[in-house]
Amino acid sequence: MTDFAAIKSEFPILNQSIHGHPLVYLDSGATAQKPQAVIDAESHFYETINAGVHRGAHELAARSTVAFEEARAKVARLVNANADEGQEEIVVTAGATAGLNLLATAFGNASQGRGGDAAKRFSIKPGDEIVVSKAEHHSVLLSFQELAARTGATLKWFDLDEYGSILSDTADTVITPRTKVVAITEISNVTGHITDVAPIVARAHEVGAIVVLDVCQSVPHIPVDVKALDVDFACWSGHKMYGPTGVGFMYGRRELLDALPPASFGGSMVELAWMDKPAQYMEPPARFEAGTQPVAQVVAAGVAAEWMMNIGMETIAEHEKTITRELLKLGDVPGVKILGRPDMEDRIGTVAFEVEGVHPHDVGQFIDSMGIAIRMGHHCAQPIHRHFGYYASNRASSGVYNTPEDAKALVDAVSQVRGYFLGK
Ligand SMILES: Cc1ncc(COP(=O)(O)O)c(C=O)c1O
């Protein structure tokens, strides 16, 4: 039996009162809190081996390089990517947004003829199609909308059902022989719905399109196996998986990473640079890691990955279901509507909701006054809010440290909102 109370006690930030109440943190969809092991890993790095990686001849640089590469291997193990030397499939980025922009920029570069013959498979021309969905976080939507604008391609999208779930069974019509890239999220950061991406991936590959999966909300909450998902690229952030801010990861199928041209340029990604002829870039993953890397954060993110694997992703997912079940009782509160499925089917503990007649900002502030942290706003996902007919919402999102009591406290607080603001 996993001792989740002991796990919670590993998070020092949770041991405090806010506005006179014990802190209840239900905003892990925005960013997760960090266990002591992750906090210690970052400071231990600075105290013992801080140095730039891959460039120094001195001992500290050698040690920091080993720690950096070990962290890459741990993160690879978390998502079942290859970590063998020379076959690495994990690229360090500054976060999910940076990874998605990297891909969109690199595909754009390939479309302008960069990267030679090998990169032609990423080339997009006017008349081609790029497919996203209406459930995307802006980091997917805008990156690939820009790519469409840059290449003259047409942006198409999957529509959503009444619960805001991506209609993956329309893949055969949305994805056509003209589709070059399909970029979608596995789990919505608004509804918490887990999309069955299999039909989308199958159809995309049938027409020769590249699949980019946003697994930002997946990696912290459910087992992710990039090989089983059969996607070509996947991006996520370190800070949502109990790791530090400023770092994220991009999975790329190795033969595609080999063929992909770089998106940013500078030190540590080039073998040979000349004044009068094109540079010769390094092999992946270095080709995509220009400049000094956030080494301490990567090392600490590796510790976070290991920390999650030690608990077990299935165990984490099962535990969070106990919180989700309680969170869904928000739907029983008079005047409260859940944006998304009101039941446990294919979802994580991310529950967005509207309180009729009360602005989400007021709801959030009222909840905050009770020491409960939730999110308010459009959560960087405006089209799905429009789909529901709202501009903004409130969102509770669970983490491994939450308890069913946390969710009960939120439901209790929300049930007081309409009385406080509307006298109802
Ligand atoms: C589904 C999803 N995709 C992408 C992102 C972007 O992540 P970041 O802001 O860490 O780059 C987020 C963050 O909220 C997200 O929830």
Q: What is the structure's pLDDT at 147?
A: 98
DSSP codes, 335-378: TEEEES-SSSTTB-SEEEEEETTS-HHHHHHHHHTTTEE-EEE-
Measured distance CA(82)–CA(152) in Å, rounded: 34
Strand-strand pairing, 129-133 and 179-185: parallel
- Please identify, by atom number, the ligand 1 atom nearest to the C-alpha of residue 97: 11
Ranges of beta strands (E only) in 48-187 are: 90-93, 129-133, 154-158, 179-185
Domain at 4-30+313-422: CATH architecture:
Alpha-Beta Complex (3.90)
Q: How far is CA 286 from the centre of its chain?
A: 22
> What does DSSP assign to residue 331?
G
Q: Which residue puts its alpha carbon closest to atom 9 of ligand 1? A: 97
Annotated catalytic residues are 380
> What does DSSP assign to residue 194?
B
Q: What is the structure's pLDDT at 420?
A: 96
Q: How far is CA 126 from the centre of its chain?
A: 30
Q: Is the pLDDT of residue 56 over 80?
A: no
- Cα 271 to ligand 1 centre (Å): 33
- Cα 20 to ligand 1 centre (Å): 31
Q: Which two tokens stand for residue 421?
A: 């603001």
Measured distance CA(93)–CA(69) in Å, rounded: 14
Q: For residues 121, 124, 126 and 127, what is the CA-based torsion angle, rounded to 10 degrees?
A: 60
Report the sign of the C-alpha dihedral through residues 238, 217, 387, 205, in that order.
positive
- Please identify, by atom number, the ligand 1 atom nearest to the C-alpha of residue 240: 10
Q: Is the pLDDT of residue 294 over 90?
A: yes
Q: What is the structure's pLDDT at 325?
A: 98
Q: What tens digit of pLDDT does each residue of 328-372 get?
A: 999 999 999 999 999 999 999 999 999 999 999 999 999 999 999
Q: Please, what is the Cα angle at 56 between 50 and 59, to 5 degrees?
A: 60
Q: Percent of the chain at pLDDT above 90?
A: 98
Q: What is the pTM of this model?
A: 0.98
Q: Which two tokens stand for residue 203?
A: 């159809």
Pocket of ligand 1 (CB under 6 A): 95-97, 137, 139, 185, 189, 214, 216-217, 237, 380
- Cα 422 to ligand 1 centre (Å): 34
Q: What is the structure's pLDDT at 191?
A: 98
- Residues 99, 248 contacting (CB under 8 angstroms): yes
Q: Is the pLDDT of residue 113 over 90?
A: yes
Candidate of 97, 140, 224, 239 to mutate for ligand 1, largest count of ligand atoms within 8 Å of Cβ: 97
Ranges of beta strands (E only) in 229-273 are: 233-237, 248-252, 270-272
Correct CATH for 43-309 of 1.10.240.10, 3.30.342.10, 2.60.40.1080, 3.40.640.10: 3.40.640.10
Residue with tokens 């960087």: 380
Domain boundaries, the chain: 4-30+313-422, 43-309
Q: What is the structure's pLDDT at 83?
A: 96
Residues forming a β-bridge with 353 = 338, 394
Q: What tens digit of pLDDT does each residue of 119-138 get?
A: 999 999 999 999 999 999 99
